[in-house]
Amino acid sequence: MCGIVAYIGSKQALPILIGGLRRLEYRGYDSAGLAVFENGQPCLVKAVGKIDNLSEKLKNQSFDSTFGIAHTRWATHGGVTEPNTHPHTDCTGNIVLAHNGIIENYRELKESLGSNHRYTSETDSEVLAHLIEKEYTGDLRQAVLSALGQVRGTYGLAIMHKDHPGTLVCARMGSPLVIGLGENEYFVASDATPMLAYTKNVIFLEDGEVAEIKRTDMHIVNLKDQQVAKKVSKIEWDEASAQKQGFAHFMLKEIFDQPTVLQDAIRGRFKLADGTAHLGGLNMSEPEMREIKRIVLIACGTASYAAMAGKYMFERLAGIPVEVDVASEFRYRDPIIDNQTLVFGISQSGETADTLAALKEAKRKGAFVRGIVNVVGSTIARETDGGTYIHAGPELAVASTKAFTNMTAILLLYALQFGRLNKLSVATGQRLLAALTEIPEKMKLILQQSDKIKELAEKYKNARDFLFLGRGVNFPVALEGSLKLKEISYIHSEAVPGGEMKHGPIALLSPEFPVFAIMTKNQLYDKMRSNIEEVKARKAPIILIATEGDLGAADLAQDVIYVPPTMELLEPLLNTLPLQLFAYHMAVALGRDVDRPRNLAKSVTVE
């Protein structure tokens, strides 16, 4: 939700800020703005809409400034207008601020500031600029600290002041900020991608920390103004991994990344000879693992569907009961958690506010809390007591794709690790691992069908509704296929388990209501086939995902996409790919903005 970029150094700030905003556009794209110091004055430019609009506005302006802040907005308080676009200023125009998060007590603060302040926006963020103005007596850092002492809510902040043309003040509470260290230059951003081309050395600001950054040095203090010692981390992602690499969209590139990044996820994390996995980051002793009586998987959106696939894996391989909880529901229903419960928070961004809050609640109740996360150094990665990075590389399209398959693979490895400690045989473990190592090549075979799936999208692009059907471990796949389609093509879609259709959803079916069904060869094949016969009888068009060699599939359906065979528990790693490609090509066929669908943002850092 919203992205911040800031630069202070000796390079021209403008290209760094605009380039950085483009990298962070996935975080929100309602409007964007920036401020640079030009001839001793902060100079602001704002535009409603995507970064291209801001760029267009800047086309005929030249700025030599080597210091600036920028922001891309996902609107919370106040409509999508230019005045509501960041950066915001105080009454004097001296203080300029970009804010990510929500100032919960902004109304009280506004009231306490009195009627002397003139506001130009409807945002909570602008109130903070006025509060800093009130507290300012010549020292920007002190003014920010005094103001933050009065604030309730979340913030990632980048602040400049006209009287301090060489000082950038940043602060964090609940909204991530990464500081990149160059030579006599600093980069600040909501994640590390804007700085990958310049530096790999970063410092992750923690909640309650304030950084005062000058060109040649930096001080980080806590909210009591006490110096904090920080560790420099190295980012392993490279610049190329955050680019489209010739693909038309990030989403397509990320779909095609899957064979490679799946290998990155599993490499070195299992022992074929023992038929087991070794995810050392779990940070639990074998006796502690044996004591676990229940596993709770907490996540949102696509990550929650990976969690649902994980439930089948843990229950079947490890015999441990698993609950999957959508994070926003978990914390408000007084969940039953004890010290024999292992809770995994699963998140691509590692910043999802609902997931983070749910994990804190689980920790408070005494559970073992671990993370399965993509973004290195993200809040969930740091707030959990261990866990595993999924190594999917930067995922920049708003629609999550490669994170799903990598999360699912890591859950499988965990299920195997717990399974082998319980009753799972070496032989079964070995068969699963052998099958897992074959997945990347099989993924490539599916991706080769992209053009065929594109033709299907052309055929079905005028459908108003879709029903996705799956059973067992393929039900989460159906849910994921349905979410992908609706979020980027805006076509209404639902997903139900095949066997549930007769209890209501079948009433929807008609020749105008296509059904996308997963009917691969597994223990539920015959049951699923019967469900599809029920669909056929209602004359709804059917697209099937079937196993290569299933000659009978074509008799049932108008269209069939064949996937290579694999072991049942691994099917989500393959069967999801045609659904991702279908959603992608549908969105392209309909002229949608694939990477930045309306109303959405990639990291949802508000509750």
Give the active site residues: 2, 602
Compare residues 68 and 176 and give the one whose CB is closer to ligand M6R.
176
Phi-psi map region of 338: left, alpha, beta (phi>0 left; psi -120 to 50 alpha):
beta
Please provide the DSSP assignment of 100-168 as one string: ES-BTTHHHHHHHH-TT----SS-HHHHHHHHHHHH-SS-HHHHHHHHHTT--B-EEEEEEETTEEEEE
> Omega before 87 cis (within 30°)?
yes
CB 44 within 8 A of CB 54: no
Please provide the DSSP assignment of 375-386 as one string: STT-HHHHHSSS
Compare residues 88 and 602 and give the one whose CB is closer to ligand M6R.
602
Compare residues 209 and 480 and give the one whose CB is closer to ligand M6R.
480
* CA distance linking residue 330 with residue 343, whole number of Å: 12
Stated as kind and residue range, the H or E segment containing 186 is strand 186-189
Q: In the complex, what is the shortest distance from the CB of residue 203 to ligand M6R, in angstroms, rounded to a whole number?
A: 22
Please provide the DSSP assignment of 580-596 as one string: HHHHHHHHHHTT--TTS
DSSP state, residue 358: H
> Can you tell me which residue has the tokens 């309650």?
208
In sequence order, the 6+-apart residues with CB closer than 8 A to the CB of 381 are 350, 371, 373, 375, 387, 389
Compare residues 303 and 416 and give the one whose CB is closer to ligand M6R.
303
Q: In the complex, what is the shortest distance from the CB of residue 88 to ligand M6R, in angstroms, rounded to a whole number?
A: 27
Q: In the complex, what is the shortest distance from the CB of residue 254 to ligand M6R, in angstroms, rounded to a whole number?
A: 11
Instruction: Using the CB atoms, write b or e for 36-47: b if 16+ within 10 Å.
Output: bbbeeebebbbb
Compare residues 76 and 558 and give the one whose CB is closer to ligand M6R.
76
Q: In the complex, what is the shortest distance from the CB of residue 27 to ligand M6R, in angstroms, rounded to a whole number?
A: 11
CB 599 within 8 A of CB 584: no
Tell me the residue number closest to ligand M6R, measured at CB.
301
Residue ranges binding ligand M6R (CB under 6 A)? 300-303, 347-349, 352, 355, 398-400, 483, 487, 600, 603-604
Q: In the complex, what is the shortest distance from the CB of residue 398 to ligand M6R, in angstroms, rounded to a whole number?
A: 6
Q: In the complex, what is the shortest distance from the CB of residue 141 to ligand M6R, in angstroms, rounded to a whole number?
A: 32
Q: Among 298, 438, 423, 484, which Cα is nearest to 373's?
A: 298
Compare residues 540 and 579 and give the one whose CB is closer to ligand M6R.
579
